[in-house]
Amino acid sequence: MIVSTVKRRTGANSEPPIIVCGADQECLVISALAKQGIQVGSLVLEPMGRNTAPAVAVAALRAALISPDAVLVVQPADHIVADPEAFHVAVEQAHQVATCRDRIVLLGVQPPRAETGYGYIECGERLDGGMSATLVKQFVEKPDAERAERFVRSGMWLWNAGIFIFTARTILEEFARLQPAILDGCRSALAQSQSNGTTLRLDRESFAGVESISIDHAIMEKSDRLAVVRLESNWTDIGSWSALWEIESSDREGNVIVGDVECLDTQGSYLRTDGRLLVSLGMKDAVVVSTPDAVLVADKRRSQEIKAVVEGLRGRGRLEVQESARCQRPWGSYETVSMGNGFRVKRIVVDPGAQLSLQLHHHRSEHWVIVRGTALVRVNSKAELRRENEAVFVPVGAKHRVANVGNTPLELIEVQVGSYLGEDDIVRFEDSYGRA
C-alpha cells in the first residue's frame, strides 16, 4: 500500500516524496520502495507514534526547506483510490485553490452509503472565480447510523478522505497560530535529528514531548482557511478488517479466504491465516485472523473497535502490541519462535555482508547457535569465526556483535534469558545504519 500511495499521480513536476513513519517500519518501507525503483526525498523516522498532526508538521518543515511555497499533497498510506486519473484531476483543482486562495484544501468523497466509521464534511458556499471548491461548514466524526443516513440523503455532506493539499507556508502559519507548542517540538526534533543520507531519525526526547493529536483535531476543526474539493472516485480507507473484506474477492458464500483455510457452513466472513491450518465451522459475518503471535476472533460489524482492544493490551504491557512476530531490520530479519517467563527464542537471519550493531544488554544474556552460514562474532574484545553447529554465549553487560562474512544468508537461533526481554534493552556503540 505504501508503494501504491507513492505511485499515485500527484503531478508531472512532483518532487520525490517525504515519507514519515515509525522507526520500526524503516526497513519495510525502504525494501518495498527499492524493489520498485522509487526515489525518496526524505524518510523521516518517528521514535514513537504521535498521531498525524506532528507527522504533518514535520513534513511541512522539511518541504519548506525546498520552498515555503512548496505544495504538499498529504496522503495516508492505507487508502485505496479506484480511479487514479480522477484523483489527479481533484489534486490539480485543489492545487489551484491552495496556491491562489491560500487555503488548506481537503478532498471529500460523495458517500455511496451511510457509513458510521468515517468522518463527514458539510459543504458550505462555493468559492467564487469558477473554482471547483466549496468552503467547509463543519465536521462530524463517525456519526450514528441515523445521522449518517441523513447526511447521505442531503447531498451536502462528503466523506472526509483525510487527504490534504496546502502550501508549506500556509500549514506552518496555522500551526504557529493554533498549535505553537507542537510546531516548536517538531522543529526541535528535526534540528536534533540524526541523518544518514535521505533518512532522518527524529530526536527521541524532543519528539516525546510533542502532543499526540490528529491533524483533524489540531488544525482542521479550528482553522478558518478550509476548502473542500470533490474526489470523483470510489475510495476506501482500509482502517479495519471489514474494509479488507469489502475490497477483496470473495467466494460464493461471501467469504474472503487468505491462507490455509477450511471453510464449512460459513458466510460473509473474513478468514486469514499466516501459517497453521484455520478451520471455520458455522460462522457468519465474522473476522478470524491467525498470525504467529496472536489470534483474533471478532464480529465483523465491530471491527472498528479493535483499536480500543489494542490500547487495552498496550496498557497491560503486552509485547505482541509493540512488535510483530517477524521483524525486518536493516541487516535482515528476526522472528520470535517461542516465549515464556524469563526467556525468549528467536530465529535471526543476517543478509550477506551485513552486521548487527555493536551493543550490550543490561537485563539479559544470549546464547547463539549458528545453523547456516559463517559468522564473525565479537564478545567484548574477542572476535572469532563461527560456523554451522557452533555456539556462542553472550553474558549480561558484554559488548557483542555478529556479522555475516559469507555469500549466503546467515541463520542463527538466539535464546535470551533474563529479567527483561524488551527490544529497548539495547545500548548501541557502533552501527552501520546510523542507529548508534
pLDDT in the model for residue 303: 86
Parse the chain into domains and list their residue ranges.
2-237, 241-306, 323-430
What is 323-430's CATH topology? Jelly Rolls (2.60.120)
pLDDT bin (cut points 50, 70, 90) of residue 39 is confident
* Mean pLDDT value across residues 347-370: 96
Q: What is the pTM of this model?
A: 0.78
SS (H, E, C) the chain: CHHHHHHCCCCCCCCCCEEEEEHHHHHHHHHHHHHCCCCCCEEEEECCCCCHHHHHHHHHHHHHHHCCCCEEEECCCCEEECCHHHHHHHHHHHHHHHHHCCCEEEEEECCCCCCCCCEEEEEEEECCCCCCCEEEEEEEECCCHHHHHHHHHHCCEEEEEEEEEEEHHHHHHHHHHHCHHHHHHHHHHHHCCEEECCEEECCHHHHHCCCCCCHHHHHHCCCCCEEEEECCCCEEECCCHHHHHHHCCCCCCCCEEECCEEEECCECCEEEECCCCEEEECCECEEEEECCCCEEEEEHHHHHHHHHHHHHHHHCCCHHHHCCCEEEECCEEEEEEEEECCEEEEEEEECCCCECCEEECCCEEEEEEEEECCEEEEECCEEEEECCCCEEEECCCCCEEEEECCCCCEEEEEEEEECCCCCCCCEEEECCCCCC
**Model pLDDT for residues 282-329, shown as the tens digit of each residue:** 999 999 999 988 999 999 989 888 889 999 998 998 878 877 778 888
Query: Is the pLDDT score of 428 beyond 70?
Result: yes
Query: Is the pLDDT score of 115 beyond 80?
Result: yes
* Mean pLDDT value across residues 234-248: 88
Query: Is the pLDDT score of 375 beyond 70?
Result: yes
- Report angle CA 202, 45, 304 to the nearest 5 degrees: 120
**Model pLDDT for residues 254-288, shown as the tens digit of each residue:** 999 999 999 999 999 999 999 899 999 999 999 99
- Check residues 182 and 239 and name the one with the higher pLDDT: 182
pLDDT in the model for residue 312: 93
**Model pLDDT for residues 191-229, shown as the tens digit of each residue:** 999 988 889 999 999 999 999 999 999 999 999 999 999
* Mean pLDDT value across residues 26-54: 90
pLDDT bin (cut points 50, 70, 90) of residue 116 is confident
Query: Is the pLDDT score of 338 beyond 80?
Result: yes
pLDDT in the model for residue 129: 65
Q: Which three cell numbers mark 310?
A: 489494542
CATH code: domain 2-237 is 3.90.550.10
SS (H, E, C) 283-344: CECEEEEECCCCEEEEEHHHHHHHHHHHHHHHHCCCHHHHCCCEEEECCEEEEEEEEECCEE
pLDDT in the model for residue 130: 59
pLDDT in the model for residue 220: 96
**Model pLDDT for residues 122-177, shown as the tens digit of each residue:** 999 998 765 789 999 999 988 999 999 999 999 899 999 999 999 999 999 999 99
pLDDT in the model for residue 176: 98
Q: Which three cell numbers mark 305?
A: 473497535
Instruction: Write the CB contacts of 96 (distance below 8 Å, at least 6 apart in sequence).
Output: 131
